[in-house]
Amino acid sequence: MATSADSLGEHGIIDLLRRHLVLMPNMVVPFGDDVSAVPIGNGEVAVLKTDMLVAKTDVPAKMSLCNAARKAIVMNVSDFASKGVQPIAVLVALGLPKDLATQRAVAEIADGLNAAAREYGAYVIGGDTGETGDLTISIFMYGQAKQNALMLRNGAKSGDILAVTGLFGKSAAGLRLLLDENCVVSSEMRLALESAVLNPHARLVEGLALSKSGCVSASIDSSDGLAWSLYELMHMSGVGFTVETLPVAVEAVAFAEQNGLNVESLALYGGEEYELVLTVNPQKWETAKAAVEAVGGNLIAIGKVTMEKQVILLANGKKRCIEPCGYEHFKAPL
């Protein structure tokens, strides 16, 4: 009996695909981590990733084609960043609706792809295109790394410090702003919040510095939301988390207050925020923090890794469970 789309969902589809595949023997990165990898000799691996941008679900109406193309690259760079890998080359599979197969639209997409790839040190070196009903930009990213320098999802240990590379909530607030014109907001804050959605940034320099420091026990990006990232780390590392300080951006706090929204939800379940979520042995904390600060970034301790496989928020002296939610294709938005 067929299961309906709503009950299957993006993660259900990927699980189902995986169960039907003969797995490559001795995979150096487990299926389901942020990237895939293939050994190429001398302890090095080829690092591979695909993430697809679908205009219908991933591109707000006010986002330009150039920014949509840029975002498609950033989504993939963020996964590379979370593993500490420099992207080298990009291929693009571009699904174009016929009304976008124009000089102007294609040039704008090309400019966005090129600018974003170059911003992170990579080059677009090939691709394919076909006529589709809606705009889709599937990016294939290639890089090369020392196998033992990869920061996988599965190494978090009880007692490790849980940390992030930035504050959350701006993207979720910005998306609400873009979708609902009744939101209350100053023009300055509108710019900051909308920019978080329209012009996201991947934490590549931070990820590369963290990998080089050798201090990280587990790492993931937060593109499906902070809560989702914590549950993914929980499943892959077999540990739990206590979040002691929710890393919320001041803009998100103000926006939530002005618009009667729950700021915790904005920070935990928003998604499309390309911060890194990672764990560090306490003895290596100062080294890790210094490494990130040396490249102009921040490393913010937000809690601890625990034995029990649950994700707890400690707020106002009370413990409560963080729900395992996040953005998922094929599922109704939150």
250 binds its own copies (CB under 8 A): no
Residues 83-122 within binding reach of its own copies (CB under 8 A) = 88-89, 91-96, 98-99, 101-107, 109-111, 113-114, 118
Nearer to its own copies, 123 or 257 (CB): 123
Nearer to its own copies, 54 or 253 (CB): 54
Angle, alpha carbons 113-275-14 (nearest 5°): 75
Q: CA-to-CA distance for 77 and 57, rounded, in angstroms?
A: 20
Q: Where are the beta strands (DSSP E) in 205-268?
A: 216-221, 240-243
Nearer to its own copies, 18 or 62 (CB): 18
Q: Which residue has the tokens 């190429």?
A: 40
Reading phi first (left if > 0) and then psi (alpha if -120 to 50, else beta), residue 17 is in alpha
26 binds its own copies (CB under 8 A): no
Q: CA-to-CA distance for 212 and 138, rounded, in angstroms?
A: 29
Query: Tokens at residue 220, please?
Result: 């993931």
Least CB distance to its own copies at residue 106 (A): 5
Residues 28-67 within binding reach of its own copies (CB under 8 A) = 31, 35-36, 38, 40, 44, 46, 48-54, 56-58
Least CB distance to its own copies at residue 150 (A): 14
Least CB distance to its own copies at residue 284 (A): 29
Amino acid residing at 237? S
3-state secondary structure of 79: helix
Judged by CB under 8 A, the residue of 136, 211, 223, 237 near its own copies is 136
Residues 144-203 within binding reach of its own copies (CB under 8 A) = 144
* φ, ψ for residue 291, nearest 5 deg: -60, -40
Interface with its own copies by CB under 8 A: which range of 127-135, 150-158, 166-174, 271-279? 127-135
Q: What is the DSSP letter of 100?
A: G
